[in-house]
Structure 1
Amino acid sequence: MKRNVQVLLLLFLGVGLLHISLLTDLYLRYVRPGLRPALIASGVLLIALGAVSAARDGFPFNRPRTDGDQSHDGDRSNGDGHGEGHGHSHAGGPKVAWLLYVPALTILFLAPPALGSYTASRDDAKAPKAPASTTGESLFADLPDKGVVEMSLNDFSSRAVWDTDRTLKGHTVRLTGFVTPGRHGTWYVSRLVISCCAADAQVRKVRVHGPAAPPADTWVTVTGTWHPTGKLGTDDASPALDVSTVDRVPAPKDPYHDVVVTPDSR
């Protein structure tokens, strides 16, 4: 690979990382907030490496050719005016190497969106397993008796599958997520949760019974009551909601942080 390709690639990648992690919140589409310092440090390091390489090679990033380089590239003379026919070309790597700029420039000028309905519709949602109780007491705290209960999809899914005490029964709950179309006109309100980065994303989704689905990937807040499905405490149960209202809301800055969304925070 030519030196100019290497140097520019380092610079573009470094600037792109600093752009999404230092100047914007776009990095939250790919990693957890705690990794921001590491992204900033990586961006600074890449820029520094690119700058050092550029300074070493000289502008415009091509090292001046020496007499030794020229004699090596041409036919060597054997002293009697005849060449030995050992010419070599060191023009660099294949032209396709320039395609390496594509991901670097994409991060800089057109940051890919966070994972959404395409991923959620192709992965099976699994409710987080409830911890085993050693005291015989309920694993889930009672919900407030009055008003609409704001819940995360994670908490609702866990209760809807594993809560044999049925603490969801009789309560109106409110959930927030993005729309994921299902089969035969069904749809889900979904979230993707991550441990480190988007590569390890796990799906949380609740089937909606009631209103027609808004467009895929639309962020919504739905209000309704628990729709029991399957036998509680087993993998046959699945989270579902009888929905009475659907309100569109702006996409959150951190799409993977599944927390309770209150009216004041929307």
Structure 2
Amino acid sequence: MRRYGPAVLLALVGAAILRVSAFSELYLRYVQPGLRPWLVVSGTALVLLALAAGVTARAHHGHEHAHGPRVAWLLTLPALALLLFPPPALGSYSAEREAAQRAARGVGTFPALPAGDPLDLTLGEFGSRAVYDSGRSLRGRTIRLTGFVTRDADGTWYVTRLLVSCCAADASTAKAEVRGADAPAVDTWVTVTGTWHPEGALGSDAAWPPVVDAASVRPVPQPDNPYEKR
């Protein structure tokens, strides 16, 4: 059976990639939606290579003996784990690892917001407008933010989202401090409805993270795509 080791390993990795990309939305935990076709092509190619490797190994059976340590079969364990137990999306631990090192990126006016309240905003857009918008476009608006719960040791809690450009490896954090409501459990997904609470001078460290006075906090399911695009 050792001669089939490479084929099995290729098949497991290919099947794992196809499972998260072709047959589910799990790939959104790791990469942007636009990369799905490339994942499907990669997974399919690996499965086809596995079939070719298996045919080649069978054709050579009886002509030569397979060599190599049996421990090489242990390489199939990570691939099998990926197939059966895909890693979860990044959460509070990843968000809290990023230091709040934010310099002023240029204070200025932002485009007008759509009419109507409550206004659904991403955490990234809310943070940008709260910290850098000299037009104070958030003032007097009821906003709605969706993300997962993170919390400081002193009990301060945040609605948080991870921003990605390409994949989970380049994730950065967007969050808003929530006041006026009890904190749900860490990593719970919630929708917070409330109003912006100005803090600090525009573009300053004191303005980050932005603050929202909550009128309501509602638990929601984790979205298929847990990340925001940076």
Q: TM-score, normalised by structure 1?
A: 0.78
Per-residue deviation, 1:129: 6.5
The amino acid of 2:217's aligned partner reads V
Letter in 1 for 2:110: F
Equivalent residue runs for 1:22-33 within 5 Å? 22-33=22-33
Match for residue 240 of structure 1 among 211, 221, 226: 211
Q: Kindly provide the amino acid, as one letter, of the partner of residue 103 in structure 1.
A: P
Tell me by how many angstroms 1:107 deviates. Answer: 2.3
Q: Which residue in the other structure is 2:148 paired with?
A: 178
Alignment-derived partner of residue 6 in structure 1? 6
Unaligned runs of 5+ in 2: none
Query: 1:162 aligns to what?
Result: 132
Bigger Rg, structure 1 or 2: 1
Residue type matched to 2:216 in 1?
A: T
Residue ranges of structure 1 left out of the alignment (5+ in a row):
70-89, 133-137, 260-266
The residue number in structure 1 matching 2:176 is: 206
* AA in 1 matched with 2:69: G
Q: CA deviation at 1:63?
A: 3.3
Question: C-alpha distance in 2, partners of 1:167/1:100?
Answer: 55
1:70-89 residue CA offsets vs partner (Å, 9 max, x unmatched): xxxxxxxxxxxxxxxxxxxx
Normalised to the residue count of structure 2, the TM-score between the two structures is 0.89
| Cα offset, 1:131, TM superposition | 6.0
Query: Considering only aligned residues, what root-mean-square deviation do their CA atoms show, in Å?
Result: 2.4
After TM superposition, give the deviation of residue 4 of structure 1 in Å. 2.5
Aligned residue type for 1:208: V
Question: 1:220 maps to which residue?
Answer: 190
* Mapping 1:1-266, distance limit 5 Å: 2-58=2-58, 63-66=61-64, 91-93=67-69, 95=71, 97-125=72-100, 139-143=109-113, 147-238=117-208, 239-257=210-228
Question: What's the % identity of the aligned pairs?
Answer: 46
Query: CA separation of 1:240/1:179 partners in 2, compared to 1, >3 Å: closer, same or farther?
Result: same
1:65 is displaced (CA, Å) by: 4.7
Q: Secondary structure at the match of 1:241?
A: strand
Which structure's residues are more often strand, by fraction?
2
Distance 1:116 1:219 in 2: 10
Residue 247 of structure 1: CA displacement? 0.5
- Distance (whole Å) between structure 2 residues aligned to residue 44 and residue 222 of structure 1: 41
Structure 1 residues 189, 125: CA separation in 2 closer, same or farther (over 3 Å shift)?
Answer: farther
- Letter in structure 2 aligned against 1:123: E
Shift of 1:125: 5.0
User: How many pairs align?
Assistant: 228
C-alpha spacing 1:145/1:252, structure 2 compared with 1 (3 Å): closer
